[in-house]
Amino acid sequence: MKRSRFLLAMAAVFTLASCERVDDRPTLVIQRFFGECGAVYGRSIDVGKADTECGILTTILNRFIAENRDINVKVNVVAWPGYPQLAAQIAAGDPPDLVTMHQSVISDYQGRGLLAPLDQYLAEAGIDTDDLTLAGQRGAVKDGRYYAMPWDTIGRLWHINTDLMAKAGLMANGKPVLPNSPDELLEHARRFKAATGKPYLIQAQVSAPDYLVANLYTYLLAQDVQMFPDGRHIRLNTPQAREIVQLYKTLNTEKLTTIAQDFPAATASFVNGEGGIFPTGTWMIGPYDDAARASDSRLGGYAMLPFPRLWGNSAAFVDGHAWVVPADERTPEERRAITRFLKFAAQYNADWVRTGHLPALRAVLDAPSFRAQPHRSDIAAMAATGRQLPDYVQRQSAIQGLIGEELEAAVTGLKPIDRALADAERRVNELLAQI
Amino acid sequence: MTRHDRFGGFAFVLPFVGFYSFLLILPFFMGLWISLHRADLFGARKWVGLDNYVRLFGDPVFYQAMGTTFTLALLIVPALTVITLLLALALNRATRSAAIFRGLFFSSSVLSVTIVTLIWRFVLTPDAGLIAKVFTAVGLEPIPFLSHPDWTIPAIAITTIWWGLGLPMMLFLAGLQQIPQDMYEAAALDRASRWTTFFRITLPSLRRTTILVVMLQTAAQLQIFGQAQLLTSGGPSGSSRPIVLYIYEIAFGRWELGYAVAAAEVLFLLVLVLTLAQYWLSTRKEDAIR
């Protein structure tokens, strides 16, 4: 008897404990990557004092929550890039309301009808799409409609150790001298190695199949080569592609570059002054600038410039981050909550690009405060010259993986260049045929 | 056995059979059905018959991944079996130091694959890893463990062996402790040498444990995934991509669910056939003795 009374009492306690006040606020589930840094920025709402992608975004979200108490905001932090998780959530019929997404990935979800068009949301948020940069517009428009609010443009740059370049006689008027042709690049690289004993390029070629692909895309786009004549085919085994891959193979063969390095090792090499130029992302400007300014720096002088014009025009293969809204049934209140967040996020675009990315808003790009940040005026042109793959190309991430794998084989000599490019073409075409 | 007894027996096994069918048998047949379709993760299904299997058996990357998987299994399973048997023999004593070492060798098994690969990345990373630093310090060229196709598979195998020592070692220890002590006493009276004792008493007594270890490890290593994904991403040029990583890439990177499930069904059949074959081969002799 005593036991049954005790059990009943426990059941009553649990039942009462499980009751909570009904929250009639609209719920906004925001899903993002960029890492977890709650220990440092968990309670901070001072966006201006935050640093790094994770820190700045965390404080922006904290501030949005603090200033919008009438919205029940839930933040999901997912491991980069979080797309398998998003796909599982959508497949289970439980998508978040706002998601960070690379612009190159948007076509996959948009093409399958999994994203809501944002034209109306952007208009209601007071964001004039004409105020977006060209690169931002290209990244967010699919089939003539906006499916995302672009938040930045990211690309690769040549991060340069100016001390070593000076030793090799590759500085003029305080600026690095970059090559204007593939032959000149090899000549510079040989001269650099002879003068410094170090490799001209530092390259993160291990566990980074996208690295070589970004180089290939950049120089094919610079020559206006139409890689994707339509959404079902790639044309890759071309003389232009062979020439580009041959250049990178020669750099490897002559050891004018580091070879067996992943990204952390390559970054350590660059910061320790073990090579001349590290072609990597815009997001490393801040860390490298800090490293160069440190009192015990081994990097010496630091500069960065867009990829040199080796073929054709100035061009850069770029991507970008964006906010997307997975398709779902939503109440007017939930739609308004999304609109308010988009407006809020756009207002903080200037803070976001302290990460090193290029802004998605022209006003921020042209603002003196942006240009006053280290090296930003050197790369601002990428917001106009930066190019992406055509918006009808789906599975861009998977395609990069396939091409990267074959390029890796080509530059390391595992496969002849012709065969590697033919294999890449075949594998990508097989993939595209299945969509 | 009465009807009542039979009913009682069924009642005892029914919960397990129910869960087993729901969680394994049903998904297997659902998978078979999906593999006959061009399907994505979001419910799209288009009947293609055996096309996915035809594509699979004409796909050079599938064969490369299968080759990598079998190579890894061949490198890991025998080595792990021998090493853990030796460890169990060395630590099968009731001393404090043996207990400490048992705990020490088992400790790697409780780590997650993420931590294990992080540790081994620090050791193996070309240029900046522990081994590379040692090689550079003595004037040798560092070995590109994670970037050269000849070295990536051994690197994954070493990582896996270190990670997987615990369970087989414990199984062998349990097996050793079940061998009747009087057999060793009889051998000692007969003045049998240590080698004779080992080959005539210990090893035959561990026959069933060894079969179990080999079968468990074979099934596990044919499904190797995390170490390859985190250490090498299957590279360079796909040279260290095992089949489960390939299936994951197809399903979640390319959204080709039907094709991925077809590969998974083939892998399942292979694991099943290999495990049954091992069991049959290892028990055949036992049956003959009886």
pLDDT band at A2 (very low <50, low <70, confident <90, very high): low
Asked if residue B147 has pLDDT above 90, the reply is: no
Is residue A145 within 8 Å of residue A120, measured between CB atoms?
A: no
If DSSP states are collapsed to H, E and C, what string results for A221-275? Answer: HHCCCCCCCECCECCCCCHHHHHHHHHHHHHHHCCCECCCCCHHHHHHHHHCCCC
Domain assignment present for residue B185? The answer is: yes
Q: What is the CATH number of the domain that holds B151?
A: 1.10.3720.10
- pLDDT at residue A14 in the model: 65
- pLDDT at residue A116 in the model: 96
Domain assignment of residue B196, given as a range: 44-289
Is residue B38 within 8 Å of residue A434, measured between CB atoms?
A: yes
Using one digit for the tens of pLDDT, what is the confidence trace for B37-85? 999 888 889 999 999 999 999 999 999 999 999 999 999 999 999 999 9
Chain A nearest CA to B147, separation (Å): 6
Mean pLDDT of A35-44: 90
Domain assignment present for residue B12? The answer is: no
Mean pLDDT of A56-61: 96
Residues of B with CB under 8 A from a CB of A: 38, 40-44, 55, 61, 125-128, 142, 144, 146-149, 232-233, 235-238, 249, 252-256, 259
Which site among A85, A89, A207, A212 would you substitute to test the B interface, given the most B Cβ atoms closer than 10 Å to its Cβ? A207
Using one digit for the tens of pLDDT, what is the confidence trace for A77-126? 998 888 888 998 998 899 999 999 999 999 999 999 999 999 999 999 99
Structure tokens at A18: 């499980």
Element containing residue A350 per DSSP (H, E): helix A349-352
Dihedral sign from CA coordinates of A337, A117, B249, A218: negative
- pLDDT at residue B200 in the model: 92
Kindly report the pTM of this predicted structure: 0.86
Asked if residue A178 has pLDDT above 90, the reply is: yes
ipTM above 0.90, yes or no: no
Which chain A residues are within 8 Å of B246, Cβ to Cβ? none
A156-317+395-433: CATH superfamily: Periplasmic binding protein-like II (3.40.190.10)
Structural domain tally of chain B?
1
Domain assignment present for residue B38? The answer is: no
Chain B nearest CA to A385, separation (Å): 29
Task: Provide the mean pLDDT of chain B.
Answer: 90
A260 contacts B127? CB cut-off 8 A: yes
A415 contacts B259? CB cut-off 8 A: no
Asked if residue B282 has pLDDT above 80, the reply is: no
B147 contacts A258? CB cut-off 8 A: no
- pLDDT at residue B286 in the model: 63
- pLDDT at residue A194 in the model: 96
A20-154+319-380: CATH superfamily: Periplasmic binding protein-like II (3.40.190.10)
Asked if residue A4 has pLDDT above 80, the reply is: no
Is residue B35 within 8 Å of residue B265, measured between CB atoms?
A: yes
Share of chain A above pLDDT 70, in %: 96
Residue of A nearest to B149 (CA): A414
A112 contacts B42? CB cut-off 8 A: yes
Least confident range from A71-80, A89-98, A157-166, B271-280: namely: B271-280
- pLDDT at residue A118 in the model: 96
Structure tokens at A208: 């980074």
N- to C-terminal Cα separation, chain B: 28
Cis peptide before B154 (omega within 30 of 0): no
Task: Provide the mean pLDDT of chain A.
Answer: 90
pLDDT band at A15 (very low <50, low <70, confident <90, very high): low
Mean pLDDT of B101-113: 90
Which chain A residues are within 8 Å of B237, Cβ to Cβ? 405-406, 408-409, 412, 414-415
Is residue A232 packed enough to be buried (19+ CB in 10 Å), middle (13-18) or exposed (0-12)? middle
Chain B nearest CA to A65, separation (Å): 32
- pLDDT at residue A16 in the model: 61
Q: What DSSP string describes B148-199?
A: SHHHHHHHHHHHHHHHHSHHHHHHHHHHHHTS-HHHHHHHHHTT--HHHHII
Gap between the Cα atoms of B60 and A279, Å rounded: 33
- pLDDT at residue A17 in the model: 63
Using one digit for the tens of pLDDT, what is the confidence trace for A231-284? 999 999 999 999 999 999 999 999 999 988 888 889 989 999 999 999 998 888
Is residue A36 within 8 Å of residue A53, measured between CB atoms?
A: no
